Structure 1
Amino acid sequence: MTRTRLAPTAAVAGVLLALAACTSGTGGGDTGGDAGGGSPGASGEVNPDAPLYDQLPPEIQDAGAITIATDTHPPYRTVEDGGEVTGIDPDLQVALAEQLGVPFEPQLTSGLDAILTGMLSGRYDAFNGPVRTTPEREADFDAVVWMTTRTSYVYSAERQDELGEPTALCGARVAGVTGSVTESQLELYNEWCAGEGLEPAEFMGFDDTNSTFLAVNSDRADYAGTTESAALDLQASDPGTYEYIVQTDEQGAGTDQLAMFMPKGNGLAEPMHAAFEAIFENGEYERVMGEWGLEDVMVDAPTLNPMSGQ
């Protein structure tokens, strides 16, 4: 079944062109890289009187900022022409920084594998996904879960008759971010396809969400797999151009827990979890999620390492 929900945002053509321009300037690929070594979107000042400043590790206090990996994934993050990062994630960072006493300093990179490797090497202090937490990931990273999601598959509205039914995805070409929730969810979808006597979908891996949407626009892929919030944002950007189907429980979807990740042992997990608890309590979390139309994927409280309890 196709779901439609609209919300005002920038025109998709301009957004995609801007993101493509920014992405081409990154190191990209499997090794990742910063956009000219800069920190687009960094703002704010250190406030030693903030409620959680004393809980920050000395390295963060000395640096005066939390270096956070940033990629292009609307509506979580959109990199504007001038390098400014806008979206849900930057809005949450402002609220969290008020509690922690240091700003977030975004570092633009590309590819989930590069981001995770960069955190383990000490290049980045954190990454806010959207990335699903798993027991395997929590072996290397601390995870603060702050939202849930279901996987959705975006396609051109012109192909509604051809692609609008769940069975149409079986045997189709599906673009998705390598190593993302979509890749693992598509494997479960393919199990459902097999049970229906249909061919499995082909997964086509890309470095970022912007590239998956461009693959649909250029007919290199039939669908772009993404979070439902990203599907809603794209659909609303250009009404009538895109539709999407949502993976159901019958098709193995379940509900994924999305988290901010930090390397084990960097000392940020406890203060970051406390900062999330604070913005849940003071209403900033609800305000930001409401402004972006994400009420359906809110959680009642943030949780730290729910898969491992460590």
Structure 2
Amino acid sequence: MTARTTRRSAAVSRSLGIGAVAVAGALLLTACGDQTENAGGDGGKTKASDAPLFDKLPKKIQDAGVIKVGSDIAYPPVEFKDGGKTVGIDPDIAAAMGKQLGVEFQFNNGVFDGLITSLRSKRNDIVMSAMSDTKDRQEGVDSGTGKKVGEGVDFVDYFTAGVSIYTEKGNPKKIEDWNDLCGKKMVVQRGTVSHDLAKAQSKECEKDDKGKITVEAFDNDVEAQTRLRGGGAVAGSSDFPVAAYAVKTSGGGKDFELVGEQVEAGPYGIAVSKDNTELRDAIKAALEAIIENGEYDKILKKWGVEDGAVTEVKINGGS
């Protein structure tokens, strides 16, 4: 991340309301089945091969009938467990794409900052986990050190979101923006854009002699929220849909509140190994197909996140 002024210039005010995101809570009561079930049903390879985009898939995926998805399934409403089933924005989009491709998207839970590694080790074929498409990830660069740590990945961009700050209900420390976190403690999920922003802001705070930010990073966002709820920090940060969902649902809406504006608005991407361009292009085609047939818009409306919709599917559109 860059200097504070760059971050402020990226700030956006979005019209996506917290109440709209909260519709997800009610939907949990009527959520249908595990979205990772085979979209092709029990028809086997013959039925799968009738899917409109089946022929675009690599032969290995066609034969397996499965695309293995690395995901940190603890990030409501994007992906999370409900009664043992994987539900959320990402699983719904994946299931819709599965109908176009004739294969199952099988979500495999993992720690967020190890998901790209799971592509290199071939444990997963793609990563779909509210992962921001950034140049560093495209190029395999550690955003904290600036050092090359891998070959990087390609992204198929499918959603847009910014980063938000949330505090204890009532905002007792009067946090209004990132500058107000100087000299204080905050919680984030490890390896996320929020984590990068917190570390970058802490350096700015030290330059201004305001005291660094003590950043406590957790394996998942739910753990970070628990820490904040228990009084272990003054604020947390996560992607806007996730922060808004937590504000509306945690403690029946009595635990947290959103403060300030979103910053760093940018695309979520489906990550694919750079040497797997055939799969990348098949995913892109499937996403374009569900945008065209209206399924994509229906899914975003279901979860109350229509303002995050993309109209053009880009590869490596992040900066």
Q: Give the TM interval when normalised to the shorter protein.
A: 0.7 to 0.9
Select 2:286's aligned residue among 272, 275, 280.
275
Letter in 2 for 1:210: V
Separation of aligned partners in 2, 1:291 and 1:196: 44
Q: Spell out, residue by residue over 1:13-39, the C-alpha distance to the aligned partner (whole angstroms, 9 max, x if none).
A: x9xxxxxxxxxxxxxxxxxxxxxxxx9
Select 1:259's aligned residue among 263, 269, 273.
269
Select 1:199's aligned residue among 201, 211, 217.
211
User: Conserved in 2, the CA contact under 8 Å of 1:77 and 1:86?
Assistant: yes
Separation of aligned partners in 2, 1:191 and 1:255: 21
Cα gap change, 1:124 to 1:279, in 2 (>3 Å): same
Separation of aligned partners in 2, 1:151 and 1:194: 22
Q: Percent identity?
A: 27
Cα gap change, 1:121 to 1:302, in 2 (>3 Å): same
Structure 2 unmatched runs, 5+: 1-12, 29-33, 140-151
Correspondence for 1:35: none
Q: Give the alignment's Cα RMSD to 1 decimal.
A: 2.6
Per the TM alignment, residue 197 of structure 1 is displaced from its structure 2 partner at its CA by 5.3
Separation of aligned partners in 2, 1:302 and 1:185: 26
Select 2:255's aligned residue among 227, 241, 249.
241
Per the TM alignment, residue 281 of structure 1 is displaced from its structure 2 partner at its CA by 1.1
Correspondence for 1:214: 226
Separation of aligned partners in 2, 1:60 and 1:233: 35
Separation of aligned partners in 2, 1:41 and 1:98: 12
Per the TM alignment, residue 290 of structure 1 is displaced from its structure 2 partner at its CA by 1.6
Alignment of 1:225-240 (within 5 A): 225-237=237-249, 238-240=252-254
User: Conserved in 2, the CA contact under 8 Å of 1:40 and 1:108?
Assistant: no
Q: Structure 2 length as normaliser, TM-score?
A: 0.78
Structure 1 unmatched runs, 5+: 15-38
User: Conserved in 2, the CA contact under 8 Å of 1:171 and 1:200?
Assistant: yes
Correspondence for 2:147: none
User: Conserved in 1, the CA contact under 8 Å of 2:189 and 2:195?
Assistant: yes
User: Conserved in 2, the CA contact under 8 Å of 1:42 and 1:106?
Assistant: no
User: Conserved in 1, the CA contact under 8 Å of 2:24 and 2:304?
Assistant: no
User: Conserved in 2, the CA contact under 8 Å of 1:151 and 1:228?
Assistant: yes
Letter in 1 for 2:296: Y
Per the TM alignment, residue 146 of structure 1 is displaced from its structure 2 partner at its CA by 1.3
Per the TM alignment, residue 260 of structure 1 is displaced from its structure 2 partner at its CA by 0.8
Q: Structure 1 length as normaliser, TM-score?
A: 0.80
Runs of 4+ in 1 over 4 A off after TM superposition: 191-197
The answer to which of 168-177 and 272-281 deviates more is 168-177
User: Conserved in 2, the CA contact under 8 Å of 1:189 and 1:247?
Assistant: no
Separation of aligned partners in 2, 1:214 and 1:144: 32
